[in-house]
A and B are shown apart, each in its own frame.
Chain A
Amino acid sequence: MHAVFFIAAIASIVAVFLICLFLFVNGIPAIGKIGIFDFLLGTKWAPSNNPPSFGIFPMILGSIYVTAGAIVIGVPIGILTSVFMAKYCPRRIYKVLKPATELLAGIPSVVYGFFGLVVIVPVIRSLAGGTGSSILAASILLGIMILPTIIGVSESAIRSVPESYYEGSLALGATHERTIFRVMLPAARSGIMAGIVLGIGRAIGETMAVIMVAGNQARMPAGLLKGIRTLTANIVIEMGYAADLHREALIATGVVLFIFILIINVTFSLLKRKEKN
Chain B
Amino acid sequence: MKEKTAITKTQMPAAIKAVNNVSFGSKLRSYMKNPGSFIIMILVMAAALITFAALLFIICYVLIKGVPNLSPSLFAWEYNTENVSMLPSIINTLIMTVVSLVIAIPLGLFTAIYLVEYSGKNNSRIVQIIRLTTETLSGIPSIVYGLFGMLFFVTALQWGYSILAGAFTMSIMILPLIMRTAEEALLAVSDSYREASYGLGAGKLRTIFKIVLPSAMPGVAAGIILAIGRIVGETAALMYTSGTVAEIPSNLMSSGRTLALHMYALSSEGLYENQAYATAVVLLVFVLLINTLSSFIARRLTKS
Contacts and interface: CB of A to CB of B under 8 A. Distances in A.
A91 to B, nearest CB: 8
A8 B107 contact: yes
B287 A106 contact: yes
Contacts of B13: 91
Interface stretch (A31-39, A95-103, A125-133): A95-103
A118 B295 CA distance: 30
Nearest to B273: A118
A110 B260 contact: yes
B79 interface: no
Contact of B37 (A19, A99, A175): A175
A165 interface: no
Contact of A115 (B58, B139, B140, B233): B58
Contacts of A85: 48
Interface residues of B, number: 91
Contacts of B114: 5-6, 8-9
B135 interface: yes
B30 interface: yes
Contacts of A101: 51
B205 A114 contact: no
A102 to B, nearest CB: 6
Interface residues of A, number: 87
Contacts of A22: 148, 151-152, 156
Interface stretch (B80-88, B172-180, B191-199, B247-255): B172-180
Contacts of B156: 22
B276 interface: yes
Given A77-B51, A114-B267, A206-B141, A176 B62 contact: no
Q: Is the interface of B mostly helix, strand, loop or mixed?
A: helix
Interface stretch (B67-75, B94-102, B126-134, B210-218): B126-134
B61 A5 contact: no
B221 interface: no
A138 to B, nearest CB: 15
B48 A163 contact: no
Contacts of B52: 97, 100
Nearest to B276: A114
Interface in A30-72: none
Nearest to B65: A118
Given A84-B48, A106-B233, A207-B235, A8 B106 contact: yes
A153 interface: no
Contacts of B287: 103, 106-108, 111
A111 B141 contact: no
Contact of A12 (B37, B133, B284): B133
B37 A177 contact: yes
B130 A110 contact: no
B263 A110 contact: yes
Contacts of A118: 65, 273
Given A12-B137, A103-B287, A207-B143, A178 B263 contact: no
Contact of A111 (B111, B139, B280): B280
A163 B11 CA distance: 13
Interface in B47-62: 47-48, 50-52, 54-55, 58-59, 61-62
Given A9-B130, A12-B137, A235-B143, A80 B43 contact: yes
A81 B141 contact: no
A251 interface: yes
Contacts of B280: 110-111, 114
B34 A178 contact: yes
Interface string B261-289: 00110011000010010001001100110
A177 B115 contact: no
A147 interface: yes
Contacts of A240: 240
A99 B205 CA distance: 36
Contact of B40 (A111, A167, A177): A177
B25 interface: no
Nearest to A18: B152
A218 interface: no
Given A84-B44, A108-B234, A254 B147 contact: yes
A245 interface: no
Contacts of A100: 52, 55
Which are the 5 A-B pairs with shortest beta-carbon distances? Answer: A205-B141, A108-B233, A80-B47, A8-B110, A177-B37
16 contacts: A10-B130, A12-B176, A16-B136, A106-B291, A110-B263, A111-B62, A114-B267, A175-B30, A175-B34, A177-B44, A236-B146, A251-B147, A251-B151, A261-B144, A264-B139, A265-B136
Interface of B: 12-13, 16, 20, 30, 34, 36-38, 40-41, 43-48, 50-52, 54-55, 58-59, 61-62, 65, 106-107, 109-111, 113-115, 117-118, 126, 129-130, 132-137, 139-148, 150-152, 156, 172, 175-176, 179, 205, 226, 229, 232-236, 239-240, 260, 263-264, 267-268, 273, 276, 280, 283-284, 287-288, 290-292, 294-295
